[in-house]
Amino acid sequence: MIAQPAMQTQKEQRVNWIGFLYIALTIAFTVYGQMVIKWQVNQAGTFPPETGEKILFIIKLLLTPWVISSFASAFIASLFWMAAMTQFDISFAYPFMSLSYVIVMVLSIVLMGEHFTWNKLAGTLVIIAGLFIVTRN
């Protein structure tokens, strides 16, 4: 006789959705932080050639409210990641973090005017295909 898969209880199904929400929030806060840092670096201008000027440039960036918010966002992302780890094995959950690369790439093209290339598209499709393959049982 073939064993029947156990039916998931309503609580187990809810826990999975909560886990996916935690992963999505981890990704959202990670993407926010990366986009804000790039935006602020672009606003600050070119990196100075002299060491002392480089240090002042970085300190000035570190003290801007937007960059501080990006660091806070990274901290919040880590809290959601810890929550996600209570719901899934890391080998299942971690591949979803590759979506942050996909989202950042799309947003960098749309919001920051970075160049689209077919290689970027191909690489992104490979990442998405890999995500589907890795997360299948």
Q: What is the largest CA-CA distance in the chain?
A: 75
pLDDT in tens, 5-53: 444 555 555 558 999 999 999 999 999 999 999 999 999 999 999 999 9
- Do 8 and 52 touch, CB atoms closer than 8 A? no
Reference 111, options 26, 39, 16; nearest CA is 39
pLDDT in tens, 98-127: 899 999 999 999 999 999 999 999 999 998
**Strand (E) or helix (H) holding 136:** none
Instruction: For the chain, give every domain's residue range.
Output: 18-134
